[in-house]
Amino acid sequence: MEQNNNSDDDRQTINTYAPIEKIDSTFQQIKNIENDTRFPHYVTEAFEATHVYDKWAVTRTYTVERFDRDDSDDRVSVYIEYTADGEEADVQEHFFELTDDGCHVEHSGEDIETFCRANHNADPQIDIEMAMEN
């Protein structure tokens, strides 16, 4: 019987295809959101973030959605697009509720921009690997 003595911290995926120093990453706030026709009126803030390596890219669009209804919680929506050679390979969307004060992400307690930056930069190599696999 084979025994694995690695701790959880030692079992991180190591991507040999995309060395971390060769991945170009960006993160920026989208300005003039109220005039941007990509977003509905309930989006009050947005950020765009990318990781690019060779012909693969991962683009995340973070939107802060504030609803004027009692039946919906305000949230951060994360739209993730994986591309290869400029062609869409996969799309995912995730949602994270905001705290009652509307300034922090309930999941982590971080302020909105800090959460978005940390979420995007958590593991660029795995992001690129997912783009490669799709």
pLDDT at 127 over 60: yes
48: closest CA among 72, 70, 24, 28? 28
Question: Bridge-partner residues for 94, per DSSP?
Answer: 78
Domain count, the chain: 1
pLDDT at 3 over 80: no
Residue 96 included in any domain: yes
CA triple 69-74-78, angle to 5 deg: 135
Average pLDDT, the chain: 87
Question: What does the pLDDT look like over 27-72, one tens digit per residue?
Answer: 999 999 888 899 999 999 999 999 999 999 999 999 999 988 765 6
Give the structural domain span for 111.
Answer: 18-133
Residue 3 included in any domain: no
Residue 67's contacts (CB-CB under 8 Å, 6 or more residues apart) are 42, 73, 74
Residue 29 included in any domain: yes
Residue 48 included in any domain: yes
